[in-house]
Amino acid sequence: MRAGCVLLDRDGVINEDADSYILSVAAFQPIAGSLEAIARLTAAGIPVAVCTNQSALARGMLTNDCLAAIHRHLQTAVSDAGGALAGIFFCPHGPGEGCHCRKPAPGLIHQALHQLDCRAEDTILIGDSQRDIDAAARAGVSAWLVRTGNGQRTEAQQTGDVPVYDDLAAAVETLLS
């Protein structure tokens, strides 16, 4: 499949995940090869965006300013690796708020598709959780799973035919080959 757009979950796909959330720039640690993988997509002319749940905002553990600093750091790290992010879309709500943007709801994906002018049938969401896979299905985009983050646990529970890759770099290698 040749992708028109690639959407990435953040924690566990681009950066190491943490049980207690990523609450600072210092806690943001890229997974080996992830920034270079984004750069490869950029070089191939494929728009890349991030779609991430950030319930630490709703829980009062993270401020909007701190999240903005983390995302600026991410943008800079991607740029330094030679890539670009076309957007970072995040849900600030907690699990019980009933919003339409928190994955597995498709709202973040719909927002990204609209703002990036991408077609669902030409888009791949790469994630590490069942929420990512379900959100992709609800939005009509293809889902790919990586084993980083929560991916190994998610893979063990899979019953469908979602492609699985060791990490973002391996997924991008397949996509571009």
- Whether 9 is catalytic: yes
Q: Are 164 and 147 in contact, with CB atoms under 8 Å apart?
A: yes
On whether 73 is known to bind a ligand per the annotation, the reply is no
Domains located in the chain, CATH noted: 5-176 (3.40.50.1000)
pLDDT tens for 27-52 read 999 999 999 999 999 999 999 999 99
Centre a 10 Å sphere on the Cβ of residue 176 and count the other Cβ atoms it contains. Answer: 14
On whether 9 is known to bind a ligand per the annotation, the reply is yes
Q: What is the pLDDT of residue 33?
A: 98
What's the CA gap between 60 and 169, in Å, rounded? 33
One of 11, 17, 132, 167 is an active-site residue; which one?
11
On whether 161 is known to bind a ligand per the annotation, the reply is no
One of 9, 17, 132, 167 is an active-site residue; which one?
9
Question: Which residue has tokens 């770099």?
Answer: 169
- The pTM is what? 0.97
Q: What is the pLDDT of residue 1?
A: 60
Q: What value does the mean pLDDT take over residues 16-37?
A: 96
- Whether 167 is catalytic: no
